[in-house]
Amino acid sequence: MKLLAQFIVKKRVYIFIIFLFLTLLSSLVMPHRKLSYSIFDILPSDIKSLIGLRILSEKISKGPEFTILCEKDNIEEIESLVKRLDSLPYVISVSWLGNNQDLAYPEETWNRNSNSWYKDGFYKITVTLKSASSYKKQIEEIKKILPSWAGLTGSEVISYDMENYFKNSTLIYFSFGILLVALFLFLTFPSAMIPVLIVLSMVVGVLINSAITALSGRSLYFLMDTIVAILQVAVTLDYALFLYHRYEEERSTKDKESAMVSAILSTFKPISLSSLTTIAGFFALTFGRLTLYNIMGWILVRGVFISLIVILTFFPSILLLFDKFITGKKRRVIPLGVGRLGRIVGRYSYLFSAIFVGLLLLSFYSNSKTEPVFDINIFLPKDIPSVATMNRVNEIFGRTEGVFIVADENTIGLTDALSSIKKLDGVKAVMHYSTILDPALPEELIPESLIDRFRNNGYTFASISIKYRLGEGRGLKLKDSINKILEEKVKGEAYLTGESVLLTDIRDISFKDQSKTTRISLALIILIIAIGFLSASVPLVLTLVIQLAIWLNIGYYYIFNTPMPFFIPSILGTIQLGATIDYAVLLTSRYQEERRNKNNPLDSIDKSVYWGAHSIITSAGTMILMNLPASILSNIKLIRLTMGSLARGGLMSSLIVLFLLPALLVILDRIFRSTSYKWSDGKNERV
């Protein structure tokens, strides 16, 4: 390791040039990363509903359905618009009131189904498109056709609008976060140059990681892009602080080159160990099936590793190159400390421990009562035209649910299965050539034109309209009943699919992912801490302390009656744990050191909190400030809530570590001594 440190110091100019080149190259590549705005893109590609949807699109050539809301009570103008839409080459069909009701009759005599297409002066039109790799051109053309009194919506339209709405947002949030962190460091560092060099190192790491993501060609759900860029800085800035503080200490007695070699050698182990707990939390995400978790997990793991390399190579290089600016005149700074807080908490350790237990019970209860929300549309900005139109359609006509059954044309028993499905409670209608006409009619007597409407390239499909929301109560039971009928009666390839089905699949997989990723994260971090402290009890206490902060963070949504996006528990259970467990490890390490130096528990915790508070506050401050701009500035509620949760996680974890962990360390000191290897010298035990 010494040879590597000496090499870094000796070749610092070349290292600086190499990273400068990589940074410039990355800044050119990074803008080409692909972002996705459809929540269904986070599903694993091998699930049955997604296979069915691909068959529907690629084989049967049935594309998405768009809904048009017409705020115009003029049947002639509506009919004219329908004809224009129907003439578009990429449109399969246009459905509206005229397809379901003879308009020659007076409105008072219209059938009950007419309420699904005309109500209170509003007309609804649905447009089914042919399958395509992208629908951007079609959406733009349809928008040009629509008059001012008509609005367009649909999942593809919302994704299109979101892309335009979100463009460059990550860069804005990241830039404001970096500025806030730089200002924070400027106010707390005696040298004005150090914050600049630290921030520069962080930006280099993020740019390289983002460029690798762009080169991979893999599409990211837009939320991942924001989380990854911000978190990579928030969780790795500590490494630069560790190295700089040690370099400053060594610089007081050595020349700059010798001081840097000593600093790299001294901080390599703590920086590596610190990164291990963070990587463990992020690595746990890679075990999730939803790509929101596993892809983001791998990118975050890679980001921490890249930042680690940058801090151990590039950062020492620029510190040496700009040494004369660093060692100049020092400024007065804002002290980051908590005074004798440790002694106060230690003296009243039973009181603070009781508070810990009370908060633990409250947090566990509120966490268990918090219900995740899977309909991402409610978190999207209401001023986006397609979202506003969707909400208006649901308000006027009620929310409609539709699913599809896709099957091989040679499948046996499909007609019988559709007949049984039609009788289920909650099914409004089943549209298929076998259900439109008399079921007793032999297939060879059914008009070929009717059959062709529901089949293509060896596959057939049926459209099912249902009364209930598929992701709730009766809707979930209905989905299970449909799947059961298909399993029992259909012999061959058959799939239940559609946006509603995909959403329930996200729900089912998410619950399993949350349980799996949280357990893996806890197990890995407990193992790492157990090895680090050679203790059976310390890792349990430290993870419980951070778990309290996580439960409080999730419980916040229940206490303040705020809808919680479904992925928040998994993100907090892995990222908050991995990113903030270091606060507890840092304080406990110092406490153990003081106990080994023959200090009693009260004096040990007093010194531990006094000397550890600066690092904990700086680390938590970085976490909070990097996430703050997105949690305040974003008009997308999904981003505000997610980044707000991460910022709140940093705050809660730091407060609990500084105010409650000291009490536990004092009270449980004897247990630590009996369950740990060389916890203290064992001579001075008086509190």
Tell me the DSSP string of 90-105. TEEEEE-HHHHS-TTS
The residues with which 566 forms a beta bridge, in sequence order, are none
Question: How far, in Å, CA of 51 to CA of 499, rounded?
Answer: 13
What's the mean pLDDT in 430-446? 70
Residue 329 confidence (pLDDT): 64
Intrachain domains 47-166 and 335-383+503-687 with the same fold: no
Of 323, 471, 390, 476, the closest CA to residue 162 belongs to 390
Nearest to 135 by CA among 75, 237, 66: 66
Enter the pTM of the model.
Answer: 0.88
Q: What's the mean pLDDT in 257-268?
A: 88
* Residue whose structure tokens are 């498109």: 129
CATH class of domain segment(s) 1-32+168-333: mainly alpha
Q: Which helix (H) or strand (E) holds 46?
A: none
| Fold of the 47-166 domain | Alpha-Beta Plaits (3.30.70)
Mean pLDDT of the chain: 89
Res. 685: pLDDT tops 70 = no
End-to-end CA distance of the chain: 41
Q: Does residue 170 contact residue 229 with C-beta atoms inside 8 Å? A: yes
Contact 363, 551 (CB under 8 A): yes
Interatomic CA distance for residues 82 and 97, integer angstroms: 10
Which of 71-80, 332-341, 665-674 has maximum average pLDDT?
Answer: 665-674
Which sequence spans correspond to the domains of the chain?
A: 1-32+168-333, 47-166, 335-383+503-687, 412-491
**What is the mean predicted confidence (pLDDT) over 600-615?**
90
Dist CA 508 CA 490 (whole Å):
24
Backbone angles phi, psi at 454, to 5 degrees: -120, 10
CB 577 within 8 A of CB 519: no
Q: Above pLDDT 90, what percent of the chain?
A: 59
Q: Length of the chain, please? A: 687
Per-residue pLDDT, 446:
66
Least confident of 463-472, 490-499, 559-568: 463-472
Q: CA 212, CA 302: separation in Å to the nearest integer?
A: 10
The CA distance from 580 to 652, in Å, is 10
The pLDDT, as a whole number, for residue 103 is 77
| Tens-place pLDDT, residues 285-320 | 999 999 999 999 999 999 999 999 999 999 999 999
Tokens of 631: 């949690």
Using one digit for the tens of pLDDT, what is the confidence trace for 346-382?
999 999 999 999 999 999 999 999 999 998 888 988 8
Task: State pLDDT tens for residues 176-204.
Answer: 999 999 999 998 888 888 899 999 999 99
Average pLDDT in the 53-59 region? Answer: 90
Give domain 335-383+503-687's CATH superfamily: Multidrug efflux transporter AcrB transmembrane domain (1.20.1640.10)
Average pLDDT score over residue span 197-220 = 93
Please give the C-alpha separations between residue 455 and each of 45, 60, 405, in angstroms, as whole numbers: 24, 6, 12
Partners of residue 95 on adjacent β-strands: 126
Q: What pLDDT, on the 0 to 100 scale, is given for residue 439?
A: 59
Strand pairing class (35-36; 118-119): unpaired
